[in-house]
Structure 1
Amino acid sequence: MTRFLTGLLHLRRGPWEMLATILIGLGVFMLMQPFFLWAFTWSFLVTLAGTVMFIVTSHFPE
């Protein structure tokens, strides 16, 4: 866990790409669930934020 947080603080690609992937997965899950309207409403923005974050962090150093 410490290594993950250190990677986030030093702008390393691995931890930020993992965080972006989790956001994309969370957005897709929010889109497909039938229980909460607020989650469905915010699902597109969460997926979009994860996708943009993944594109930006793919240019970070290893």
Structure 2
Amino acid sequence: MRHIVTPGNWRRSSYSGSGDGNNCVEVAHRPTRISIRDSKAPAAGVLTFPATAFAPFLQALRTAHPS
């Protein structure tokens, strides 16, 4: 089964920066999956995680790149 994400499902990160906000990622939440894509090139591809794996993914990013 293919996972389809429609344009209305995408939310831009609050860290996208000023101006046109094309400096970060967009996220789409589905009941069992979380999808992310580059806001500068949304047609280039989508990375999709099981919802249960997304929190550990974010924690690994925070650990690797602390603020």
Scaled by the length of structure 2, what TM-score is found?
Answer: 0.29
**Greater strand proportion:** 2
Report the structure number with the largest CA radius of gyration: 1
Relative to its length, the structure with more helix (as a share) is 1
Length-normalised TM-score, structure 1: 0.30
